[in-house]
Structures are given as C-alpha cells and as structure tokens.
C-alpha cells in the first residue's frame, strides 16, 4: 500500500488520493480541525487548491524533483540541506529544503531504542495479529524563518551563479525533537501503516477531492475517521506528550479487511 501523503512544507501535507464520502459530520466545504490539550488547532484538513503551490510550472516541478534526487544522493540518512536550484542559463530559481533518505528499521526493538523518550509507542504487534515489518524514520531540520530563508536564497543563488552550476547547497541543523515516520505492520493478508509525526507545529493536509469525514471522540480524544474509494480506511488523532511543547500527530491507515472497530482499538493503544 502506498503512502497517500507527501510532505510539501515543514507543516503542510498534500493528499494525492481522494476520499470516499462517509457519514457527513461536516459539510464538504467546512474546515476540519483537531486540537491539542491546550485547545490550539494543530491539524487542519482542507481542499487542495492550486495556490498551495504557487506558479507550479513544469520547469519548477522538474527542479523540485532534481533537488529531491540530490538530497537522496548527497545526504546521509540523518542530514538535511537547503538546495537552491537555478533556472535555465542561471535565471532565477527556488530554494528547496531536502532531507536524506532516512533511517530504515527492520525490527521494532531497534526503532524503539532510537525513539526512546520521544513519547511515541512502538509495538512489536498490533491486536496480537499484525506484526511489525519495517519502518522509515526522517529527522526534520530546524525550521527557517522567512528572513533566514530569504537570506539563504540570496546567498546560494549567488554561489550557483559564481560556480556556473545549476545548484548550490548548504547543510542545515537537524533536530531529533522533530521527526516523521512510517511503520508497516502485516498479518492475515492485511496491511496497516502507522504514521506518527512529532512536531510543535500545525499540520495542514490538502485533499485532492473535497472530503466529508466522520469526527468522533474516543476515550476523550478527538479522532477523524475517513474511508477511501480503495476500500482502505484511516484514523487521525493527536497525542499530547506530557510536560512537552511537542505533540504526536498520528495517522493510521488499514486495508479494507481490517474492521473499523479493530482500527479504532489500535488507535486507542497509542493513547496509553
């Protein structure tokens, strides 16, 4: 099963799949949100608009893909960098924040040790029948302010022109406080993806089609349940890390053979 969400900015996700209409707790044009324990909105679900990626020309898309490829080729799993990609003949380009390929884990114990003290749960099995298969973990760089990003763009654009190359790169500091992960569990012919993000920022998901999703409360926690035209279904919720400004934004998606009650029971286990 492919990951439905691709990271666009530090705090913005673009959903490439479309949602099947479910019980409409909200109108299709209504903004759906989840809050943390302080009442702050830390998750928003919106309809995708072209303005999310302004002036996204084919040339810019190609440069973005090249920047991503450079990140995969030049960076270690725990590294991140700012890469300025120049336009043709060194015309104006864009700054891209890229990461290494991330850490790969094949056993839950190693992943659990890596994330010890982070507030996230890492289970060997879910519901005693879905076994841990593997995981990919990516640490995020410290977020740049608009002023820092503008200054870095100017600096790297000049370096790209001076070197007569199509790009210039600068390494960024990476925080082990801020990360995202995908863990895969399988059993009984079914697959479950657990996708936690540890962040102190708000996450915005832009969906290709206007959704109508069911918002519910489970053990006092707001959860957003969605069913997809593929038959898969998912649930999103916020876990508040005690004595921390960070929280964990969980999204768990299961193939259609996993019952809704089982999916919600799995979600509840991550709240303990």
pLDDT tens column, 155-191: 999 999 888 889 999 999 998 899 999 999 999 999 9
Question: What is the pairing mode between strands 130-141 and 167-172?
Answer: unpaired
d(CA 46, CA 29): 8
Segment holding 254, helix H or strand E: strand 247-254
Q: Report pLDDT digits (tens) over 186-245.
A: 999 999 999 999 999 999 887 776 555 789 999 899 999 988 888 899 999 999 999 999
Residue 52: its pLDDT value, please? 53
First vs last Cα of the chain: how many Å apart? Answer: 27
Q: Which residues make beta-bridge pairs with 43?
A: 34, 203
What is the DSSP code (8-state) at residue 143? P
pLDDT top residue among 5 and 76: 76
Number of domains, the chain: 1
Percent of the chain with pLDDT over 70: 84
* Domain with 152 in it: 5-269
Q: Report pLDDT digits (tens) over 117-168.
A: 999 999 999 999 999 999 999 999 988 999 999 999 999 999 998 888 899 9
| Average pLDDT, integer, range 235-262 | 96
């Amino acid at each position: 099963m492919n990951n439905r969400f691709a990271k666009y900015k530090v705090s913005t996700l673009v959903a490439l799949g479309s949602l099947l209409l479910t019980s409409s707790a909200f109108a299709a044009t209504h903004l759906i949100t989840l809050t943390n324990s302080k009442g702050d909105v830390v998750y928003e679900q919106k309809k995708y608009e072209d303005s999310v990626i302004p002036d996204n020309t084919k040339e810019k898309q190609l440069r973005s893909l090249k920047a991503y490829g450079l990140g995969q080729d030049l960076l270690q799993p725990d590294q991140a960098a700012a890469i300025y990609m120049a336009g043709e003949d060194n015309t104006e380009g864009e700054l891209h924040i890229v990461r290494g390929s991330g850490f790969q884990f094949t056993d839950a114990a190693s992943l659990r040790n890596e994330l010890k003290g982070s507030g996230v749960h890492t289970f060997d099995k879910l519901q005693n029948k879905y076994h841990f298969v593997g995981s990919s973990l990516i640490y995020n760089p410290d977020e740049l302010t608009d002023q820092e990003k503008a200054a870095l763009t100017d600096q790297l654009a000049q370096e790209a022109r001076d070197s007569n190359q199509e790009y210039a790169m600068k390494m960024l500091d990476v925080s082990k406080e801020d990360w995202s992960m995908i863990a895969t569990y399988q059993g009984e012919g079914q697959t479950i993806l657990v996708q936690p993000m540890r962040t102190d920022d708000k996450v915005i998901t832009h969906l290709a089609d206007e959704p109508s999703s069911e918002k519910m409360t489970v053990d006092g926690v707001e959860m957003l349940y969605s069913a997809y035209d593929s038959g898969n279904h998912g649930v999103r919720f916020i876990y508040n890390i005690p004595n921390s400004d960070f929280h964990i934004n969980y999204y768990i998606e299961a193939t259609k053979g996993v019952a809704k009650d089982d999916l919600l029971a799995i979600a509840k286990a991550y709240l303990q």
